[in-house]
Amino acid sequence: MANQRSEKLQARFGLTGELAFESGPDGLLEMQVTRPEATARIALQGAQVLDWTPSGEAPVIWCSPEARYARGQAVRGGIPICWPWFGPHADDPALPAHGLARTREWRVEATASTYEGTQIDLSLVLDEDAQRQWPHPATLSLRLQIGRWLTLALTTRNDDTRPLRLGEALHTYFHVGDIERVSLLGLEGLPYIDKVAGGERGLQGAALSFTGETDRIYLSEGECQLLDPMLARNIIIEKRGSGATVVWNPWLEKSHAMGDMADDGYREMLCVESANAAEAEVTLAPGETHTLWARYGVEPLSG
């Protein structure tokens, strides 16, 4: 069944030698991109990029080797899409954390081979179950561009006659050589909400380094750089249409408690998320469209 579906998708949207549809674990459909500049793997469930590796580089996106692949379950790693709320639902804790988009299968709308990379357009149709949980007519689409840069553009249109309050994030897990040796630049001097300290407010001093559990929402619209001396590279994290940057590492105890992450898995990842969360949520007027855009690239660390 899954094989038949992947064959149909291949016939309609496959790109010879560049984009292949495959049936992954638990019959979940995946796309494999192979280009001279990079390779990538994307799950149709959640429109989740699971891997992106520019040629000659170690993987830039981290996916837990212990990740579980099952229908309706979030995968630990890659780029989960949090939408239309970020974190726990504000009024109903029974609703899934980080919203409805990351555990549902998305539809392929179009694919193309361009000079900059492989372009993939996906959309999420809100089924009856999703509408029961979140009764707001809206259209959601994602454009991926996979090449030397990885670009994501997540677009929401409010199809309701009422304003729409939207929380969202590209919850990107970056692969690092050693969390205790990296530094994150671009958030200096900015205010943040510290979820580890129960929501206390703080002001960032110098560039961030990591010595323990970190879970912060920075009110930031700008670019970040993730300096990694062990992998001798700098990951560039650009964004637009995003008022918050979330920085998360669960550290040892929480990694240990998570069934889909090795105890020391926290050492090789850092989430830097382009988001609209907390007071940076966005409100869309009826008919209005909003795009959350992010672009990742790698440059060698000089000196």
Shortest gap between Cβ of 223 and ligand TA6 (angstroms)?
A: 19
Q: Nearer Cβ to ligand TA6, position 98 or 104?
A: 98
Q: Measure the CA–CA gap between 247 and 202, rounded to whole angstroms.
A: 14
Reference 98, options 291, 288, 275, 297; nearest CA is 275
228 lies in the binding site for ligand TA6 (CB under 6 A): no
How far is it, in rounded angstroms, from Cα 176 to Cα 154? 25
Q: Among residues 41, 89, 98, 239, which is the contact residue for ligand TA6, using CB under 6 A?
A: 98
Cα–Cα distance measured from residue 34 to residue 98, given in angstroms and rounded to the nearest whole number: 30
Q: CB count, 10 Å around CB of 200? A: 10
87 binds ligand TA6 (CB under 6 A): yes
Which residue of 2, 97, 197, 232 would you call a contact of ligand TA6, by CB under 6 A? 97
- Of positions 168, 215, 228, 281, contacts ligand TA6 by CB under 6 A: 215
User: Residue 216, interface with ligand TA6 (CB under 6 A)?
Assistant: no
Using CB under 6 A, count the residues that bind ligand TA6.
11
Neighbours of 12 (CB within 10 A): 11
Quick one: which of 188, 199, 151 has its CA closest to 172?
A: 151
Q: Is the peptide bond before 84 cis (omega within 30 degrees of 0)?
A: yes
The residue (of 44 and 272) whose beta carbon lies closer to ligand TA6 is 272
Q: How far apart are CA 238 and CA 291, in angstroms?
A: 14
User: Which residue is nearest to ligand TA6, using beta carbons?
Assistant: 248
Q: Is 168 in the site for ligand TA6 (CB under 6 A)?
A: no
266 belongs to the binding site for ligand TA6 (CB under 6 A): no
Nearest Cα residue to 140 out of 163, 156, 127, 153 = 156
**Residue nearer to ligand TA6 on the CB measure, 83 or 248:** 248
State the nearest-atom distance from the C-beta of 16 to ligand TA6, in Å. Answer: 36
Nearer to ligand TA6, 9 or 182 (CB): 182
Q: Could you list the active site residues?
A: 171, 273
Please, are residues 138 and 123 in contact by the beta-carbon 8 Å criterion?
A: no
Nearest distance in Å: CB 72, ligand TA6? 14
Of 237, 184, 246, 200, the C-alpha closest to 219 is 246
Determine if 171 is a binding residue for ligand TA6 (CB under 6 A). yes
Would you count residue 281 as binding ligand TA6 (CB under 6 A)?
Answer: no
Residues lying near ligand TA6 in the complex (CB under 6 A) are found at: 74, 87, 97-98, 171, 195, 215, 246, 248, 271, 273
